Amino acid sequence: MSLAMRYAYQEHSYRQTFKISRETRDSAPLFVVHVTDGTHIGRGECGLQSLKHETQASAAAQLEDIKNRIADIGSREELNRAVAATSARNAVDCALWDLACKRSGKSIWDLAGVRRLDKIEVDITIGINAADKMRRDALAAGGRGYRILKIKADADSVLDRVAAIAGAAPDLRFIVDANEAWSMAQLEALAPTLKVMGVVAIEQPLHHDRDAPLAGYDSPVPLCADESCATRESLDVLAQRYDAVNIKLDKTGGLTEALALARTARERGMGLMMGCNGATSLGNAPAYVVGTLCDWRDIDSQELLFEDRANGMVTKNGELYAFDSKLWG
């Protein structure tokens, strides 16, 4: 089977400005990849990782390199051996999974060995804003049936913002995502009160290069690694510092490594979160597959975008419904 590949860059606008501790975005930069065997076409999608300083130019260069070698690479296994875990590899890896489904006539669930769930509970992200704006966003999310919210946080006014949301939506559960913005002292001060407020997990409180103190900390709220976690190679260290890991396809370099990371982390007794990186439903369909294995699913970016793909996934009452093969897999 001789393969050929093409790719294109796109930007998808957010419904409202999306702010986290280290950046603000009005749109999601994405690449779409098509891989063909001459008869069938597989599709994949990736974003850009600001943490790894990925840019449109750098991702395009990586995709061009893979494109020039795709006939020799030929398979997901060889791709993962030959190419580092980057966003570019993610798009190609997922396109190869989609192509394999189309060539074999089998579903992604059969090929991946994962039980299909018709729907999974997901959260919705509340970006950083003034406390009253975050409260109103939380109320709107609760009104749409979401039962768990991911609250983005920086180092300022954390308790005021969470309290405003918790007071308005006392029956909901919350994940607080600091995106590396806190110090160890701030975590120790905040965690007990956040637990009382209904926070069920704190995501990446410390910078990924400075999270060693977590190894000796007994947190009242489970800690989840995001920026500190990329592939299975990091698990030996992470298991000493965190209770759970956030898996993202751009970080793992595709569905192949994401599935392996999820299964290996679970064998170690760690909790699992499935995240996303500004993807449309095309990029989040493989995330749904991994999400069926997880405790928390932050697969909401298609809901935050102004416009999704044709045949996109649907969220109702805080539950994301499974995709079909018209979209992917």
Active site residues: 152, 248
- For 83-130, where are the alpha helices, taking DSSP H only? 87-104, 108-112
Sequence letter at residue 104: S
Residue with tokens 């590396």: 180
Please state, in angstroms and rounded to a whole number, the distance separating the CA atoms of residues 246 and 269: 14
The torsion of the CA quartet 87, 89, 94, 98, rounded to 10 degrees, works out to: 140
Please answer whether residues 4 and 71 qualify as being in contact, where contact means their C-beta atoms are separated by less than 8 angstroms: yes
Residues 263-276 as b or e (16 or more Cβ within 10 Å = b): eebeeeebbbbbbb
SS3 for 136? helix
Sequence letter at residue 65: D
- Strand 124-126 with 244-247, pairing: unpaired
SS3 for 52? helix
Please answer whether residues 84 and 253 qualify as being in contact, where contact means their C-beta atoms are separated by less than 8 angstroms: yes
Angle, vertex CA 55, rays to CA 297 and CA 64, nearest 5: 100
Residue with tokens 């704006």: 133
* E strand or H helix that includes residue 4: strand 4-19
Please state, in angstroms and rounded to a whole number, the distance separating the CA atoms of residues 269 and 129: 35
Q: Which residues contact 43 (CB under 8 A, 6 or more apart)?
A: 32, 33, 34, 94, 95, 98, 282, 328
